[in-house]
Chain A
């Protein structure tokens, strides 16, 4: 099956900026993934106490003044850092670009919890006197904050907003950017996802109450999708934004094309607040494949969503077994095993770790699998050591989230 959309409808990735717990640039991140280096650390947060988390160590002051950092949010800083790095890597002639034709589409799992918790903690010191509640609260907590801070910092006057899509948000941000380019709403899209979630105690406490928070004496071993002894999610912060363009625009300026967004799909389970639904994941993957004009056997690499919850990993494996039955050449990996679950950034970040495989054919593994859960024993699963393939030309990127949201993005080598 071959299908090639009209050139103006073909959307390509031409730039990439990221911060992950194990790297603040695409090459650092990739090197860590190939070396099997985790970015998960010991972490402590008020009220909740000791836990583990994926913590980013990028330089906030590289692209922001101290006053901007103070006024804004961590999600905003992550977004600003990633946006600058993406623009630089795309080789865009920034001064010559019409800033009103740039759109900013940032996926988020949640926003505002960190800032609200901080303020409640502050007013607690004043016996809950709301007159000391900061006037910065509303601009920090409006849902468009992380995208809006990027436009303020970079002088972008085109559309901006966030896409709230739970843990499917990284893919959803990219899909939104691609669709806006197809609609002609912008000529350049900055799209992907960010997460500041490690700064809210609520997310740790919530997962703990749900029995879904990872723990391990060695933080680097805590995130272990597909392992028999997995015990939950490692929460991480991070960000990853891409420069998206229409193919002819990218070709016209001689841009380096990192990949083409060949097909995508978002659907809903309509079955449970938190439990995944393998049948709907199958439907989502099949729809994305159909739109990309690809057969499952034509997918070289699947980047799994698996977060290391007991049921989530099994459900995704069930779905993958259905879709990729009789696909012996399709490899499967997982990036959360290195960095934890970067929430709104996860889909975009995990794709970024895999894109270099288009150049060198090397696929990173899923680490920390000491005893493979038999229910997760997929034929193509790359366990613990990177694997080289003759060539990688297609990647299928899964990202699923609470309330039953599934997103699948297929990227093709151009």
Chain B
């Protein structure tokens, strides 16, 4: 998957997890938590959806890497580069 495709996939996951949020103006460098109403259960949902959809296992010590869109994409790139877009 390309960087753009990974970002798009994260947006798709967020749309499922936070269906009341407007994601059209999401800023990549600002923490999700500062732009969206997300709590710890929602972050676990992001981890779970990546696991279910792409079989990516994210260890707990790496959860901080999912703070913003920019850091999430950076973290996922090497793990998703070989994956096909679904």
Contact = CB atoms under 8 A, between A and B. Distances in A.
The judgment on whether A and B are partners is: yes
B19 A67 contact: yes
B51 interface: yes
Contacts of A134: 48
Interface string B1-45: 000000000000000111110000000000000000100010011
Interface of A: 65-67, 70-71, 126, 131-132, 134-136
Which are the 9 A-B pairs with shortest beta-carbon distances?
A66-B19, A65-B20, A135-B44, A132-B52, A66-B20, A67-B20, A67-B19, A132-B51, A67-B18
Main secondary structure, interface of B, reads helix
B5 to A, nearest CB: 22
Contacts of A66: 19-20
Interface residues of B, number: 13
A147 to B, nearest CB: 20
B48 A132 contact: yes
A351 to B, nearest CB: 36
B67 to A, nearest CB: 19
Main secondary structure, interface of A, reads helix
Given A132-B52, A136-B41, 15 more contacts: A66-B19, A67-B17, A67-B19, A67-B20, A67-B37, A70-B16, A70-B17, A126-B52, A131-B51, A132-B48, A132-B51, A135-B41, A135-B44, A135-B45, A135-B48
A65 B42 CA distance: 15
A131 B44 CA distance: 12
Contacts of B45: 135
B44 to A, nearest CB: 5
Nearest to A126: B52
Nearest to B44: A135
Contacts of B52: 126, 132
Which of A65, A67, A135 has most chain B Cβ within 10 Å?
Answer: A67
Which of B18, B19, B20, B44 has most chain A Cβ within 10 Å?
Answer: B20
Contacts of A67: 17-20, 37
B19 A70 contact: yes
Nearest to B18: A67
